[in-house]
Structure 1
Amino acid sequence: MRIINNGMCHFSAHAGWPLFPVLVFLACFLLSAIIPPFQSPDEFDHVKRAYFLTRGQVILDTPTGKSSGGMMDTGLAAYMNAYGRLPFDPDRKLSAAELDEANNIRWTGDQEFSPAPGTGYYFPLIYVPQATGLIIGEMLGLSVNGSYRLARFVVLASASLILSIAFMIHRPSPLAAALLVLPMSFFQLSSASLDGISTAGAILIISVFMRMAIDKELTKPWLLYVLTASVIVVVSCRIHLLPLVLLIFGTVFFTRRKSGLIAGGIASISIMLWLTVAFKTTIDIRVVTGFPVSGIIQHYLPNPLSFVRVLLATLADEELLRFYGQSFLGILGWLDAPFPEDVYTGLYALVVLTALFSTSFKHIEEEWPARLLLVCCALGASLLVFFALLVSWSVHPASIIKGVQGRYFMVPALLVAYALEGGSRAESRLFIGPLLLAALFLFSAFNTTSLLLMRYYLSAEQPEMAKFEMRASLPATSGGSLALSLDQKQMYGPSALKRIAIMFGTFRRKNPGLAELRLRTGEGEVLVIPFDLSDLVDNQYKWFDLDPRPYISGEIVFLSGGGISLWQVHREGGPVTSCLIYEASNGGKRYTRGCPR
């Protein structure tokens, strides 16, 4: 801070702003420990696209009758299936057993085709952070969960680094920073989805443009290179941000350098070339609009008034407007975790107050061209959001536009935030703006954490706890047998088992003799594994390697010797189950409930 002649406190040009992304990083890092995998909308497909990139796949494959996709490790597919039960079911919570089973899934090396609808249009360079985490995790021998968590970390670290660079190039206003600490922003930055990197990249674009508009003829040449590369990467994966290309052309007005025209042309051609290739090679059969997308576009382009009528009808719907506002602030998960109304009220109030103390028209006469261009880009991007969803998500002919979410307007909102702030002078607002930002940060982080715990882990009511009692079976005798009582899941929805562990009781003695583990599949196939009874340890699990088949029953047959028991769990009013550990062929582990883990 510094003191100027009027005695009022102001923040210096960049004081603290490059460190602000560090605070965002720490908050999101903690939230990522709470948020289960794949809970950001379409995150399944984004992670698939990143995995395809690790295999060198830039253009997706398009088998007949399927959406475009690629070959994916079956371990990753199993990991996705483990968390695929959560979306759209707010009452579904995670148990420790489910987490154990999912977190132990390994990379298998086996490949199967998996579609990734909607991602073939995105230039894959944007997925480098996710791909980096996945490939490093796989090379280090981490589980699929460990690799996924590493991918999340690399995405968050990369986005935070980009934001720090952007804030050093041009400091943001408290309003622009406030948009980054909304619950929706926290949630998306904490995921392995695309929003975190694309939003950070957009802020870098705006920051570079503002710096060039301020420095004018003194602009460093490298800024134009950064601006052009960032626009190509961001716009080629976020088509509705196509108006950002205008910022490159706009630099000509400020710097008086024709290189801006060349850079703008290069960016435009690069983006159009990629989109042409992507649209020709990608098939997306997620949504049935009734007509091909190209045909719907050809309907509206010559008839812009038809688009305007549908747009006005959409904006006249009060429920939709309410949804846009709430989903901009934050409806978390797959739009299945809304906040209470009072939280939205608090978020609205803090954002509006921050905006009031962040807006400045002090130097409007010299800054209006840059500000106007930012607002025009925001308006154009917003219109493209509606148009894109009209032609790709709404049944044709449409009366209203479906599929629009508030988070799609994050970058347009950031453009407006920078336009309101101006910034050709080093000084910023009075301390009240950053103070409101700090209040919003704490309010948002607290309520986001509370909602995530409620959504994914806490039941609405305390479940009735079944009573479990561990008992040892009667000791076996020579020539006798002990039946293995598998759990209901293995009997009626069997997994292919790579290993199984059985908990034996030897009564603290060595028991000489031989026995066989016999396991049966539903088709009647039998696997026989002989073992020495003297190798057993009292009250410990013994592992048996299996050939990966879906076994549904088994027994221990004692060829010689005896005096061995199996530990079992007796559940009140339920079946008796042997204490077993099931390890599936993909590495996932499951434990008998009530037995030692």
Structure 2
Amino acid sequence: MRSVRSVLGRVPAGLRRTLTTRSTLVFLGAWAALLLVSVGWVVASPLSSGPDESGHVAKAVGVVRGQLWGAPTDRPGVTTFRVPADVGAVGGGMTCFAGQPDRWAACAPSPDGSSTATTTVTSGVGSYDPLYYALVGWPSLVLHGEHSYLAMRFLSAVLGTFLLAIVFWVAARSTRSRLLATGAAVATTPMVLYLGAVVNASGLEVSGTAAVTALGWSVLHGRDRPARSETVLLAVAVVLTASARTTSPLFVVLVLAALCCTVPITRLRAVVTDRRVWGAAAVAAVLVLPALVWTVAVALPGGYIPSSDPARPGRREAVWHSFWSLGAYGRGMIGVLGWQDVQLPEPVYTGWTAGIGAAVVLGLARIRRAWLPVLLLSAGVLCLPAVVQAGSAHEYGYIWQGRYGLPVLLALVLVAVALSGRTTFRTVSPVPLTAVLWTAAGVGQVTVFVMAYHRYSVGVGGPWDVMWRGDGWQAPHGFAPWLTAVVVGSVGLVVVAVLAAHRRETDGASTVVDIPVDTGVARVSGCRSAN
């Protein structure tokens, strides 16, 4: 303890105050807890077991070697990359268990970390924006084999959990945002944390949308003048999210439009004319421009991983198929792991579906102004599969998977819960509900982790005792340390969420804008000073 104090004593006073504020401590605690859960997934998932992970790894390894989109092939949307064999050859035998839930991962060979050969690898994501892949692919320049692969996963997890932790940071900064910590329990489905722990740009898109939603809410509903830290982080989150996938810019615009509908026009005008907001928006626009140019020039002609099903339906058939498949897409947003071959226990699907439905209904029932943003985001969740596939199914087949709509669903839950909290929890503390929801979510996350490990260790129908004895496929150092990491991280999330949702007497010490969204009237209320 004395050494910690001595270190803090050498930190400049301003930075020391920032590092020890309640919101910063909540953020660091949330980041650590989320990262613990993610590390469990990083190591305890077999190599190339993430959805289309072999193609994403090939893209990342190629991008850091100057191959931004790869060499074209005669198949639409498919390109090739020339990469080192020790990390590039993650398809083929490495995916021997993909799509076969009864086959465990022991059939996959280990990457040869001593090989100096190169190989040509095909990828369906060559047209994706290269920013995410440049951020996570550089370990392949200095590491080899399995270590390189796990390092890329770890960087993806660090980036994703940082963005998710921003939700807790926003919740801890103001009583008008603390319900975000409660809603995050429902919004953070098992698929959210799983996607962030494999090499896949969808993970960045999901976590980035969560950060954009929370920061956008804080800027609109927080202080009279948005804090510089919020506007800067919002600009960063927008740039990262909009650069993730072909549909990412559309998701960012949809979420920001929905958030703007949650405040009266007078408040919206005051925010958008603020100099800090304008400055951050200008910087974000400049940095997002390359992503938009890439989307139009490169991604739109390709943009999707072609379906392995040879059928190429027409527009009307694609629209009908999309709406008919909404139930399957909903399960995918909660969690269908791996190469669409790891189903979750039915109670997990039922519990998260009930939580999501309750959040949306509560928002609509309590707030008159909630119908427009909730309707807008709900339409995004329900109609985007049809819109995307109507224009692409004739060339790529049915390419939509449930996880593609997860960013909009996550934003929908956060916005609905935050809106309902403006009236529901004005006098009642949300702490008990937050504790219950995060405890239930933690149990669900641990259950999903154990079920997924069992599938890869011995297959879906394999005996459970074999997995616990250490036979079958095993992660490095066995199952126990990574299960422990997931359990400890899940418990930590309960504690951090309760701290973020807890209301202190000094939370509203400064003058803030109180926006009763049910009446549409903005008023300024001066809060008493903290003593």
TM-score, normalised by the number of residues in structure 2: 0.67
Aligned to 2:110: 102
* 1:153-168 to 2 correspondences below 5 Å: 153-168=154-169
Q: Is residue 2:241 matched to residue 1:234?
A: yes
Name the counterpart of 2:269: 253
Post-superposition offset of 1:417: 1.6
Q: Per the alignment, in what secondary structure is the counterpart of residue 40 of structure 1?
A: coil
Q: Map of 1:412-451 to 2, 5 A cutoff?
A: 412-422=408-418, 429-451=429-451
> Any stretches of 5+ residues in structure 2 without a counterpart?
1-21, 172-177, 261-266, 467-531
The answer to whether structure 1 residue 405 and structure 2 residue 401 are counterparts is yes
What is the match of residue 123 of structure 1?
A: 129
Q: Given the superposition, is the C-alpha separation of residues 164 and 71 from structure 1 closer, same or farther in structure 2, using an over 3 Å criterion?
A: same
Q: Which residue is equivalent to 1:26?
A: 36
1:34, 1:453 within 8 Å by CA — same for their partners in 2? yes
Whole-angstrom distance in 1 between the partners of 2:348 and 2:222: 41
What is the aligned partner in structure 2 of residue 336 from structure 1?
Answer: 341
Equivalent residue number for residue 197 of structure 1: 204
- Residues 1:135 and 2:135 are matched in the alignment: no
Secondary structure of the 1:59 match is: coil
Give the deviation of 1:437 after TM superposition.
2.2
**Counterpart pick for 2:101 among 73, 81, 90:** 90
- Structure 1 residues 209 and 49: CA distance shift in structure 2, 3 A: same
Taking the aligned partners of 1:292 and 1:224, their CA distance within structure 2 comes to: 44
Q: Could you list the per-position Cα deviations for residues 149-199 of structure 1 after superposition, in whole angstroms to 9, with x for gaps in the alignment? A: 111112112222222234323456245422454222232222222232222
Percent identity reads 17
| Alignment correspondent of 1:578 | none
Question: Is contact 2:238–2:252 with CA below 8 Å preserved after alignment?
Answer: yes
The answer for the alignment partner of 2:225 in structure 1 is 218
Q: Does 1:42 align with 2:52?
A: yes
Distance in structure 2 (CA, Å) of the matches to 1:151 and 1:268: 24
Residue 41 of structure 1 deviates from its aligned partner by 1.4
Q: Helix, strand or coil: the match of 2:121? A: strand
Q: Which residue identity does 1:385 align to in structure 2?
A: P
- Give the letter aligned to residue 205 of structure 1: V
CA RMSD across the alignment: 4.1
SS at match of 1:122: coil
**Which residue number in structure 2 is paired with residue 376 of structure 1?**
376
TM superposition shift of 1:63: 4.9
How big is each residue's C-alpha offset from its partner over 1:496-553, in whole Å with a ceiling of 9 and x where there is no partner?
xxxxxxxxxxxxxxxxxxxxxxxxxxxxxxxxxxxxxxxxxxxxxxxxxxxxxxxxxx
What letter is aligned with 1:41? Answer: P
> Contact 1:73 / 1:111 at 8 angstroms: preserved in 2?
yes
Q: Secondary structure at the match of 2:119?
A: strand
TM-score relative to the length of structure 1: 0.60
CA contact (8 A) 1:90 1:336 kept: yes
Task: Give the paired residue count.
Answer: 419
Partner Cα distance (2:378, 2:290) in 1: 22
CA-CA distance at 1:359 after TM superposition: 4.9
The DSSP-based 3-state class of the residue aligned with 2:105 is: coil
The whole-number CA distance in structure 2 between the counterparts of 1:193 and 1:285 is: 12
- Tell me by how many angstroms 1:353 deviates: 5.9
Q: Distance in 1 between matches of 2:284 and 2:373?
A: 15
Shift of residue 240, structure 1, vs aligned partner? 2.8
Gaps of 5+ in 1: 1-11, 301-305, 466-597
Q: 1:37 to 1:190 in 2, by over 3 A?
A: same
Offset at residue 441 of structure 1 (A): 2.7
Residues 1:110 and 1:271: Cα distance change in structure 2 (over 3 Å): same
User: Match for residue 92 of structure 2?
Assistant: 81
1:214–1:37 CA distance, 2 compared to 1 (3 A): same
AA matched with 2:273? R
Match of 1:276 in 2: 296
SS, match of residue 71 in structure 2: coil
Distance in 2, matches of 1:449 and 1:60, equals 35
Question: Which letter does structure 2 place at the counterpart of 1:127?
Answer: Y
Q: Larger radius of gyration, structure 1 or 2?
A: 1
Distance 1:186 1:59, change over 3 A: closer
Mapped to 2, the partners of 1:280 and 1:354 lie a distance apart of: 35
Q: What per-residue deviation string (whole Å, max 9, x for no partner) do you get for residues 405-434 of structure 1? A: 222222111221222133697978522321
Change (3 A) 1:455 1:75: same
Cα deviation for residue 458 of structure 1 reads 2.0
Give the 3 Å change call, closer, same or farther, for CA 38–253 of structure 1 in structure 2. farther
How far 1:85 moved relative to its partner? 0.3
Q: Which residue of structure 1 lines up, in the alignment, with residue 80 of structure 2?
A: 69
Instruction: State the distance in 2 between where 1:83 and 1:291 align.
Output: 27
State the Cα distance separating 1:223 from its structure 2 match: 4.1
1:323 aligns with 2:331: no
CA deviation profile, 1:59-97 (whole Å, cap 9, x unmatched): 3322566832321112224444342101011121133xx
